[in-house]
Amino acid sequence: MNIVLTGASSGIGFETALEFTLKTENKVVCIARSADKLRKLLEIARSINPDCTLLPVEFDIVHDDYAALVPFLQQRLGHVDILINNAGALVNKSFADTTAEDMQNMFQSNVIGHFNMIKNVQPLMQAGGHIVNISSMGGFQGSVKFPGLAAYSSSKGALATLTECLAYELADTGVKVNCLALGSAQTEMLEQAFPGYESPVMAFEMGKYVADFAATGHKFFNGKILPVAVTTP
């Protein structure tokens, strides 16, 4: 399979990339802003499977020029089977301290960037393709919400709604669109959101789940927001 994964330099994205590279036939384009972390990812992937195809791409999904990225994907992959929109950012501030700029940055990172990726990558996808948007239980309707995460959770809720809309917009193309509302996994972002909290789920476990769902979930789901959580948070 040909996979494009954003937010691949750390946490769940990092582990998801490694899971895909276990199969030599997969080609995985790993997108992140940190070239150093991408080099580390490539090093680890090759140490696990020397024959893997992992293509690191230093790219900002909000601000960089897709006129360079799309031809690269066309040349190296031809078509895209899976797009995982995993990149994201977090602001942890009380609502009183949250600024309009904070809110804008959350929507830029957690919604607009993914909008950009889908607009540019979806034309490279064929019937049977799968777009997976990575949201959060913080953006899942009816879930417990926490102080300090109003901007973050609002943006993740918007990503979930975008998923539902796109599933119908793209129905004629045969490309399925789903959203995973992830609960806690032991990552740097979790520590930022809930300092001192230890999740019962490791990042590599959640990464394996995401990879497995991206590869098979479109056979059973379309336009669904699926909670993936065993604890609150």
Give the catalytic positions in this structure.
152
Q: Which residues contact 192 (CB under 8 A, 6 or more apart)?
A: 90, 92
CA distance 176 to 82: 10
CA distance 21 to 88: 22
CA distance 210 to 84: 9
Are 7 and 13 in contact by the 8 Å Cβ rule? The answer is yes
Are 2 and 73 in contact by the 8 Å Cβ rule? The answer is no
CA angle, 188 as apex, 41 and 186 as ends, to 5°?
95
First CA to last CA across the chain, in angstroms?
Answer: 33
